[in-house]
Amino acid sequence: MTNSVRNAVIAVSIGGICVALALSLILPNHNEPFLGFHAIIGAVGVLFFAFAMRILSLAQREGRQDE
């Protein structure tokens, strides 16, 4: 179940991004600075949070969080 859910979400995500970009090309009145701006923000955002977590992992210690 785990892998099937994961693969399904990946497939839907890629398909969805393609559809959204295609619609952005077709539909007027979208307010993006350039095509795919929000997709890039999404990718940069994920990398930003991964990097932030890596930095904050330097300020961690062993132990259970609920203690």
Residue in 13, 37, 18, 38 with CA at minimum distance from that of residue 26: 18
Please identify which residue in the block is written with the tokens 């399904």: 8
Give yes or no for residue 29 binding other proteins (CB under 8 A). Answer: yes
Question: Interhelix angle for 2-26 vs 37-56, to 10°?
Answer: 140
Q: Is 61 in the site for other proteins (CB under 8 A)?
A: yes
Residue 34 in contact with other proteins, rule: CB under 8 A? no
Does 56 engage in binding with other proteins (CB under 8 A)? yes
Task: State the maximum Cα–Cα separation within the chain, in Å, rounded to a whole number.
Answer: 54
Q: Footprint of other proteins on this chain (CB under 8 A)?
A: 1-2, 5-6, 9-10, 12-14, 16-17, 20-21, 23-24, 27-32, 36-50, 52-53, 56-57, 59-67
